[in-house]
Amino acid sequence: MNDRLFLFLILLLLSMPVYGQSGAGDRPVGLPFATRSPVVAQHGIAATSHPLASQVAIDILKQGGSAVDAAIAANAALGVMEPINCGVGGDIFAIVWDPETRQLYGLNGSGRSPKGLTLEMVRAEVQKRTKDGQIPLYGALPVSVPGAVDGWFTLHERFGKLEMSQILVPAIRYAREGFPVTQVIAFDWQRNVEDLEANADLIEELDNFRKLYTIDGRAPREGEIFRNPELAATYEKIAAGGRDAFYEGEIADVIDRYMRRIGGWIRKEDLAAHRSEWVDPVSTNYRGYDVYELPPNGQGIAALQMLNILEGYDLASLGHNTAEYLHLHAEAKKLAFEDRARFYADMAFSDVPVEGLISKEYAAERRKHIDMKRAATSYPAGNPRLDSGDTIYLTVADSTGMMVSLIQSNYWGLGSGLVPDGLGFMLQDRGALFSLEDGHANVYEPGKRPFHTIIPGFVMKDGEPFMSFGVMGGDMQPQGHVQVLCNLIDFGMNVQEAGDAAR
């Protein structure tokens, strides 16, 4: 989220089987950026946006689960506890370090637009529903196929140890028995309720949302116990029937009937056709560290472009967060985001020049545009809605050295406002990020994945895993990746300091 930024990092020490940060022994206590000492663990570690979800992940590791098992369990729990940020109605991306094969694996678990909805139909609906000429954030129009559940099972098939029925037990228990709502989540929940009610004219059906997510018309308050037995039942169906229960079975039937009833476009055929995609992470070397991101339709390569541009400057000599230092970061981001607006899209539909965009030669050319004495007045990002998004990031490492960098989101808060009958979750609104401009790389097409802001990160050093990391916050995520990495690499901060430092 834009106003609630978190950083979660895991550093694998190369010389011993410990997860934590290195070089802390000679560092003074009480440095200005650190809120606490970095957490160090010997047999495994998990970092999530909710303490109960982190506990769920650790419990799964203690039961013999892999880092992937623990990450799935934590993500499922967060779908219960932070529905304003994630859930099985949304999409998922991940990077996994597998110590057995000594390889990084990337997963693109984003869903696609309805095959029965054409560009002409979208334009006609937009003209009827909105004044700004853009796909709205609410209602059936921005709904794309939820990719999270298929992403879980795709990850689990390759890297899981425990049965999915065991992995989902904690989330099912919390959904059925309830959990105390925390302060920030309560605040954002109420804000989401207000936003959805204020846009009720764009949403075909709101009764299911009101029944599921509100108490007497309001969001649950801090400390109130919130229960979601409908989501518990959905998780139980997924645990018993696998991904097919969601995409081809009873859950798919409910979504199909619901969308037909309200006049939406997602069909069972869209759900059945969905598959996650294994992709090769792409990288650049920044001062001896190999930084990995996923290729588009996400925005991860923007971080690589920014790092390439910044590598041409002695940032340490400028001083941390000095005017000159921040000027360079801002200008590098403007340059990368100009390319992001022009090129980043579903690579199955658009020829994205990834290799050229992340090359050192291209960065050298782009760097020439930067004037140290003047800020560029305009590098338009192409879509003003890219500045926000509600997301969870989590990372887990286990005793074998497997590390998972995972990010998951509904896009805008709770999502589209549409809650299929009795399933306990809301459908995402990621399709709002499609362009309606002819010839644009991210122009809407049936069966296409929209541009995504959520990006997991990973760093290697001398051929060994160094760090699994990520941030939350819409289009600030590439900026956050870069600033944290500069804190670590250019200024020698430990992981806690690097995350706590102002962005």
DSSP SS3 for 348: coil
Residue with tokens 């106003």: 3
65 with 162: CB under 8 angstroms? yes
Burial 321-330 (b: 16+ CB within 10 A, else e): eeeebebbbe
The residue assigned the tokens 């991860």 is: 300
- Element holding 459 (H helix, E strand): strand 457-461
Can you give 54-107 as a three-state secondary structure string? HHHHHHHHHCCCCHHHHHHHHHHHHHHHCCCCCCCCCEEEEEEEECCCCEEEEE
Structure tokens at 233: 């039942």
DSSP-assigned beta bridge partners for residue 278: 107
Tell me the β-bridge partners of 107.
Answer: 94, 278
- What angle (nearest 5°) sits at the alpha carbon of residue 156, between those of residues 154 and 159? 110
Counting Cα atoms < 13 Å in the Cβ hemisphere of 313 gives: 24
**Contact indicator for 444, 118 with CB cutoff of 8 Å:** no
Q: Which residues pair with 95 in a beta bridge?
A: 106, 405
SS3 292: strand
How far lies 433's CA from each of 288, 442, 473, in Å? 35, 8, 15
Neighbours of 365 (CB within 10 A): 11
Question: Which residue among the candidates 391, 395, 400, 453 is catalytic per the annotation?
Answer: 391
DSSP string for residues in 18-50: -EE-SSGGGSPTT-TT-SSPPP-BSS-EEE-SS
Report which of 110, 54, 162 is spatially closest to residue 393, judged by C-alpha positions.
54
452 within 8 A of 110, measured Cβ to Cβ: yes
453 is catalytic: no
Helix or strand run (H / E) with residue 468? strand 464-471
- Whether 461 contacts 442, CB under 8 Å: no
Amino acid sitting at position 323: A
Closest CA to 19 of 286, 458, 291, 402: 402
Q: What angle do CA 390, 391, 396 make, to 5 degrees?
A: 165
Enzyme catalytic residues: 391
